[in-house]
Amino acid sequence: MTYPSIIDAIGNTPLVELGRVSDILGLEGRLLAKLDYLNPGFSKKDRAAKATIEAARASGALAEGQVVVELTSGNMGTGLAIVCGVLGHPFVAVMSKGNSEERARMMRSLGAKVVLVPQAAGSKPGEVSGADLALVEAEAQRITAERGAFRADQFERPENTAAHEHGTAPEIWEQSGGAVTAFCDFVGSGGTLGGCARYFATKGVRCYAVEPDMAEHPIQGGGYDMPDLTHLKGVSLAGRETVSGKDAADHARMLARAEGIFGGYSAGANLAAAIRLLQGPEKGGAVAFVVCDSGLKYLSTDLWS
């Protein structure tokens, strides 16, 4: 098959069973990893970027050649840089300096303008806090108004959720032959978990939120202590699993060394939570999770040191 553009290559990523990890730990049940780090922008956020821009163009909310602005930890920004570049929209990514350097470099390489916002007083490099995110949001709002731009707004726009309700979750269900009994995902904007939970509710699949165990953590792209996430409103969850930064890193390394899957911190957090679920309430079942982004985006961090 030949695609008309790279945008059409977003989605339909592989689902891989982690038999080696299961054997190492003696787990009863199956671990199923959805490899969204194999999307063109190396993350699951490519799906939301595509859905958001296509919907805005179709509705007229985004005019031909209009600037797009978004707050990002790097993944949504990379997806938007790809989609906007192909469709002819200048893109401005607004990101905290606390995020890894690779993300900014990748967005710039794809043609985006990257605005780096200094961290809040007392914040630690490599660990983006809610206070840091508030500063980024303020700058994104300023630039949007100044440029007369379209704000992609991954925390509010329904296309973020829809991309996973109509893409990620049905793919997992079909690829597993309907064997999935539980799903878990690290909460950033909440779009993946919210969308998947809406679809999986119709299939009797239990869904769990994965969150950091403390305010300061190295798991970039989430854990901002935002209890009122739009994408999770009205969603019924079976529970929440908290994961430490150390556990996230250890399990990302396990994923790489045992299975050859090179994911980032959030992938490690998801694996840690999925293992815990198989050892507890989901014992004997099939737990699916998303490998959210690539380990290549963390080479400058402690993850691979």
Active site residues: 45, 266
**Which of 248, 225, 219 minimizes the C-alpha distance to 124?**
219
The sign of the dihedral angle between the CA atoms of 258, 264, 265, 267 is negative
DSSP letter assigned to residue 189: S
Q: Which residues contact 13 (CB under 8 A, 6 or more apart)?
A: 34, 35, 36, 38, 39, 171
CA atoms within 13 A on the CB side of 217: 25
Sole residue written with tokens 């994961």:
243
Amino acid at 129: S
The alpha helices in 74-155, defined as continuous H runs, are: 75-87, 101-109, 130-147
